[in-house]
Amino acid sequence: MTVTLVTSACGAPPPPQRAEPDAGVDLEAQITAFTSTLDQRRHYRPPDSHERTAIADGVRLLLDGRRRDAARQLDDYGYTLTELTDRPSGRRFAEVAEVAEVAEVAEKDGEGADRARGWGRVYVELSGRPKWSVQVPHPVADARTEVPAARLIRTAPGGVLVLAGAHRMVGRDGTEDVAHRQDTVFHAVVKTLGGRKLPGVQLHGFADESAPGFDVIASTGAGEYGRADGRAFAGALRKEELRVCRAWARQCKLAGRTNVQGRAAAAAEVPFLHAEFSRSVRDDDSRIQKAVRSLTGLAKRWQ
């Protein structure tokens, strides 16, 4: 069953509008249908500070279980809050998405690209109190990083997925690269999660030739609060026969030391892992599943 929470014109939220019972949706397909619209031609408008704060506040209300208040807050800023059931797992999620982006994916006529601002989406698993996050700052640009993220939140309870809404190369001044800017909705939401002490893992991708001999580069970013979790994660990857460069034990390329979400986590003294997966891993579904199993073990540590 899909439930959309909307607000009325007078500001008071009516009862949730309920669709007829159905078989639910495939969450991975839902997410990849969205990311398939993200390319370098897509529009991106940087949010101002008020917009960033307002949307992060809407997510905060959702995390507090105040879904009607969250829906009203988000609706004021062009976002819709939809509750849905993932058909393969049976888990329920809240989807926070731009109205224009939802229309674009549904219509597939390209008109939404001019209306959407490219600020991204958030998915919250609803079985209980959120306890961890998975972050995808470069969907499509780091090809298929959204796939293990989608599979992770449907596998392990208590997850929040924060998904960027624009290709990292869509602009010429770097305004869309959310992993290296603090003035984005993506960063505002992730910082809100860190302020609630939710540990997080951020997924990236690298070309095989960038770090030959390795399948995964694992790092704690700018801080060290995720060191024990990183060791456990690296051990799980090795059991899956994936070759890991552990940035806390040796020099590794692409360790994410300048990642701004990692810096915010370090300031908040919250565990943060920066995980880079090779193109060979991301192109092989069986190896993606190995990564997902390792990530699931990490999420369970955080539950």
Cβ pair 101, 115 in contact under 8 A:
no
Q: What is the number of other CB atoms lying within 10 angstroms of the CB of residue 208?
A: 14
User: Pairing relation of β-strands 272-278 and 121-125?
Assistant: unpaired
Q: Which of 153, 234, 246 is nearest to 200 (CA)?
A: 153
Residue-level pLDDT at 191: 98
Q: Say how far residue 110 (Cα) sits from the centre of its chain.
A: 24
State the Cα–Cα distance between residues 291 and 278, nearest whole angstrom: 11
DSSP assignment string, 126-156? -SSS--EEEEESSTTTSTTTHHHHHHHHHHS
User: Pairing relation of β-strands 92-98 and 3-5?
Assistant: unpaired
How confident is the prediction along the chain (303 residues), in pLDDT tens digits per residue?
Answer: 555 564 444 444 444 443 344 569 999 999 999 999 888 777 789 999 999 999 999 999 999 999 999 999 999 999 999 999 999 999 999 999 999 777 666 665 555 555 789 999 999 999 999 999 999 999 989 999 999 999 999 999 999 999 999 888 776 565 568 999 999 999 999 999 999 999 999 999 999 999 999 999 999 999 999 999 999 999 999 999 999 999 999 999 999 999 999 999 999 999 999 999 999 999 999 999 999 999 999 999 998
Residue 124 has phi, psi (to 5 degrees) of: -125, 125
